[in-house]
Structure 1
Amino acid sequence: MINKLKQFWRGHRAQRVARAIDFAGVGNMPKTIHAVAMAAVLPLVACNGHVNLDVTDAAVDKLSKVYVQFDSVTLKPAAAGAVTVTLNPPLTIDLLALEGGGTSRLLNNKQLSDGSYDSLSLGVSADGSGKDSYVVLSDGTTKVPLLMSSSAGLTLNSRFKVDKDGTRNYVIDFNLRKSVLDPLTGTTAYRLAPKLRLVDRDASGAIAGSVAGAGATGCSPAVYVYAGSGATLGDEGSAHAPLTSALVKAQATTPVTYTYKVAFLDPGTYTLALTCQADADSPEIANESIGLSNATEVQVQKGTTATVNF
């Protein structure tokens, strides 16, 4: 059995362990004691997997760019201490450029201990100076600082796994419609109060479609997505707020068409609704008179894009 053990453990550390077993005379032990000795040294062999972690966003209106500086990612195993990965240099990402299913990489093939993890936290810098995180208004030129209003939302208490000798691909949806708040009276900085959700990219699906009449005068169109069948429709600040949303965008076609896409949804049933008042819907005010219409249920499946046209 010692010979088999030596063959299994290759490399410098394995050879040292095998020599230690020989020296201790384990080969002459009774089988029961021998098994206990093997169990004692087996944990020395680390079991690892790899993780790719991307960030995406649910778009916000009134702004043309939203730059957020990411400094670190902290991952908490269920049975061990937290592991913090420092991003050096920090990554400054225009989240608004990622709407409709675009992503940007935070961790690339990061090796981690396999097993279950309880939470994931992002380290973000937004001190209100505009030197780290900031927004650009819809005019495309005016730069306004972002100030961290609440860092509580930077921790996702969502369980996830790292597979032994495998690779997991996760996406953090940084919901800008809920996360970027207007400046307080008498101040200029936009406020950052992150609202995040974690999705297994390889197990997710999407919804996409077109919207007729979205170009009507005074219409600020968006598609709201609610979890479940027969969901109660509410505005962004209500107790029945949508899980996520997507702005409706004009496409360079003749005639002009208007489309939307909601990516990275867990498989299941969702209820969609259309609004023309997205720009008036504040996540800080509940029960606004936001018109929601054309409620439609759809089933999302892994690896597919369901079509819902309005």
Structure 2
Amino acid sequence: MKSQSTKFMVAATMATFLYGCGGGSSEAPPPNVPATGNLTISLTDDPWEDAMEMVLHVTGVEMGHADGSVVMVAMDGGGMSIDMMQLQNGESRMLADNVEMPIGQYDWMRLMIDPAQSHIDLASTGGRHGMQMGGDAIDGLEVQHTFEIGQSQHSEFMLDFDIRRGVQHHDTGMMGGEYRLHSAMRMVDMSDSGGLMGAIDPAMIDVNHADCDDAPGGNWAYLYHGDVMEPDDIADVDTDGMDGPIAADRIDMDTMTGEHRYHFGYLDPGQYRVAITCSGEWDEVGDDDHPTDPDGQFTFQMYSEAMEVMSGQMHDNDLSP
């Protein structure tokens, strides 16, 4: 349990692991001081058509060591407020730069959020809404991911937050309900990552497709592991046994080329498939919308063959029906 864990504190801006010992700098560290490596952590976000601004106030990052201890990277000055809408299409925000960490295996990472200093502005409501922590995120936004900190080695990881799954509206019986944060993140080793991007055939875009309306926010690319044979929706609670997407990207038009393009960065090496929909505004987190949408609106226009992603490379793959 967390309450039984030993906690260490790391100052993010000092990049120093605090041992709690004194003495001059010329002396060797006492024998009980753990060996250390260095860690850099950044944050990025998947898009959401309804959010105009979403500010998360990050106070720190906790990591669970395999020995049961918890190491915390504390943000300087009590935290940083980050507009997640600015962290798309490969943009990111550094949370910790080259901080010193005890070596060894870690099993999870948790983003600590102050909901009282966080908010979301929605186009659909025209207003600003406060944030609460969801039941699976009471202690923070957590991702289960095993990683290693090696002695005198530098490790760098990206936390990729999926706002469409991670922010959910809950009806509380009060006017407007409330918006809760849920743990919908993945974690990527930046020393071994690549990406996928490409142009979309205009025939699959909503204004050109009879099955879709042309309301804003319909054109989306969904990303799946290469062994997933049929795409599924982004339902929060899966009831059909099908694998949902690991990431989603809003398809925007490149104003320079006129092309509609998708972009998935920070991917582990391996095979991936991409599904295209022009009715993404009907894919609601609270419903199983595929293969039978309760509203009769959500469907996919195509599902690609498996595409290989290699470390250090951004692969350009254009998609057509």
Q: TM-score range by the shorter chain?
A: 0.7 to 0.9
Q: Between Structure 1 and Structure 2, how many residues are aligned? A: 269
C-alpha displacement at 1:188, in angstroms?
4.5
Aligned to 2:229: 231
The alpha-carbon deviation at position 69 of structure 1 amounts to: 1.0
Q: What's the Cα RMSD here?
A: 2.3
Letter in 1 for 2:132: L
Residue aligning to 1:246:
249
- 1:133/1:146 contact within 8 Å kept: yes
Partner of residue 48, structure 1: 36
Q: Distance in 1 between matches of 2:102 and 2:231?
A: 41
Q: Is the CA contact 2:283–2:289 (under 8 Å) kept in the aligned structure 1?
A: no
The one-letter amino acid of 1:218's match is D
Q: TM-score, normalised by structure 1?
A: 0.80
Q: Aligned letter for 1:274?
A: I
SS of residue paired to 2:75: strand
Q: Which residue of 2 aligns with 1:119?
A: 108
> What is the DSSP-based 3-state SS (H/G/I as helix, E as strand, rest coil) of the residue aligned with 1:177?
helix
Q: 2:308 aligns with which of 281, 287, 299?
A: 299
Contact (CA 8 Å) 1:268, 1:301: kept in 2 or not? yes
Is 1:76 matched with 2:64? yes
SS in 2 for 1:303: coil
Runs of at least 5 residues in structure 2 that lack an aligned partner in the other structure: 1-24, 208-212
Sequence identity of aligned pairs in percent? 21
Q: Where does 1:120-139 land on structure 2 (aligned, <5 Å)? A: 120-127=109-116, 132-138=117-123
Structure number with bigger Rg: 1
Shift of 1:160: 0.7
Structure 1 unmatched ranges of 5 or more = 1-9, 18-42
CA shift digits 1:49-92 (9 cap, x unpaired): 11000011111121122111111211122125111222232111
- Structure 1 partner of 2:317: 308
Structure-1 separation of matches of 2:70 and 2:170: 34
Residue 236 (structure 1) shift: 0.6
Does 2:184 align with 1:180? no
Relative to the length of structure 2, the TM-score reads 0.77
Relative to structure 1, is the Cα distance of residues 234 and 139 closer, same or farther in structure 2, using a 3 angstrom cutoff? closer
Instruction: Give the AA of the match of 1:113.
Output: P
Structure 2 residue aligned with 1:284: 286
Does structure 2 conserve the Cα–Cα contact (< 8 Å) formed by 1:50 and 1:110?
Answer: yes
Shift in Å, 1:149 = 2.2
SS at match of 2:165: helix
Does structure 2 conserve the Cα–Cα contact (< 8 Å) formed by 1:180 and 1:194? no
Structure richer in helix, relative to its length: 1
Aligned partners of 1:45 and 1:87: how far apart in 2?
23
Q: Structure 1 residue aligned with 2:277, among 275, 278, 295?
A: 275
Question: Residues 251 and 142 from structure 1, CA distance in 2 versus in 1: closer, same or farther, beyond 3 angstroms?
Answer: farther
CA contact (8 A) 2:223 2:247 kept: yes
